[in-house]
Amino acid sequence: MKSLKNRTSLLLLPSMLFILLPLYGMVAAIHQSFSVNNQWTLQNYIQLLESERFVASTVFSLKTSLAATLISLVIGLLLTRYFYTFLERNTPRLMVWLPMLFPHFVWGYMVILVLSETGVVSQMLQAAGWISSSSEFPVWTRDSQGIGIITTYVWKEVPFVILMLLPVYSSIKSEYHDLVKTLGGNRWHRFKTVEWPHILPVLIETFLIVFSFTLAAYEVPALLGTTFPEMLSVLSYDWFYGSSWDDRPLAFAAMVLLSLGVILLTAAAYLFLNKKRWKAMRGRST
């Protein structure tokens, strides 16, 4: 038995070593964000919160990430709910999950090729005579509203939402829907009483994954974003690799605040999902 425990510990060793790398990076970033001339201070955070560029970047990042995440969840939920029996087949499922095989920057280039002012859609509209030149085509890439960024993330994350929701819908028994229908319930009642309790934890988990990724990712905003306002990841990159060394602590501080926000959001979601279970445990203990 003792040798078995030792063998289990050895199997966990690679994963623990892998976790140490990001943990070291996080500790180093926190240290750099609070350090000025080898002294601990809040000067970097005060300067960061007083920066109009940082505030504008934060608002733009939250708005863009939230829009991309919610749109992806809604589209993925609707596609899964109405076509999950069709998506259970191998060929349709593989076609839906095909975008996940390619990196995000590949889909970013696809959006540029299709939706830019000189892209495929613009050329088709010119050929049809609907617009006379590419300058009349709306700006959907490298725009200040983040339309190109949102489009790329929606295109890429909808298959992931389907991947998360499809097993849930496949596990819901049809007898539950028949029971609600027998009791006089309509489609909304069936969704509310049968489907919603099953998919809510998965939707929250998927929201956290997609929102955290889109909020912190760099390649798509760098490819499709503007110089102002920019996503927090692009701003931090500019501060870190910029010509001024004085801006480097600001990059660390921005990433620390971003990580702290994601951690707090995850903790709030965890508390929300486990609220009923904790109440039941308190009831049994008392």
Give the pLDDT confidence of 88-97 residue by residue, as tens digits: 777 777 777 7
**DSSP code, position 40:** E
Query: How big is the CA angle at 113 (ends 110 and 117), to the nearest 5 degrees?
Result: 135
In sequence order, the β-bridge partners of residue 36 are 39
Task: State the sign of the Cα–Cα–Cα–Cα dihedral 187, 193, 198, 199.
Answer: positive
Kindly report the pTM of this predicted structure: 0.83
Residues 40-60: b if buried by 16+ CB within 10 A, e if exposed: eeeebbebbeeeeebeebbeb
Given a cut of 80, whether residue 281 has pLDDT beyond it is no
For the ranges 3-7, 8-12, 137-141, the one whose mean pLDDT is highest:
137-141
Q: How far is CA 283 from the centre of its chain?
A: 36
- CB of 194 closer than 8 Å to CB of 57: no
Residue 115 has pLDDT above 70, yes or no: yes
Q: Let me know: does 142 contact 226? Beta carbons within 8 Å.
A: yes
Band the pLDDT of 286: cuts 50, 70, 90.
very low
Domains parsed from the chain with CATH numbers = 56-172+199-274 (1.10.3720.10)
**pLDDT of 108 above 60:** yes
Whether the Cβ atoms of residue 229 and residue 114 lie closer than 8 Å to each other: no
Task: Look at residue 62 in the predicted model and tell me its pLDDT.
Answer: 92
Q: Is 192 helix (H, G, I), strand (E, B) or coil?
A: helix
Say if CB 116 and CB 141 are below 8 A apart: yes
Q: What is the pLDDT of residues 202-258, one digit of tens each?
A: 899 999 999 999 988 888 898 888 878 888 888 888 888 876 777 788 888 888 888
Name the token pair of 222.
Answer: 């760098």
Q: Residues 22-51: what's their mean pLDDT?
A: 76
CB atoms within 10 A of CB 251: 23
Residue pair 155/99 in contact (Cβ under 8 Å)? The answer is yes
Rounded mean pLDDT, 97-109: 82
| pLDDT band per the 50, 70, 90 thresholds, residue 21 | confident
Residue 153 CA: distances (Å) to CA of 15, 69, 125, 213: 29, 8, 25, 10
Instruction: Report how far residue 157's alpha carbon sits from residue 210's, in angstroms, rounded to the nearest whole number.
Output: 7
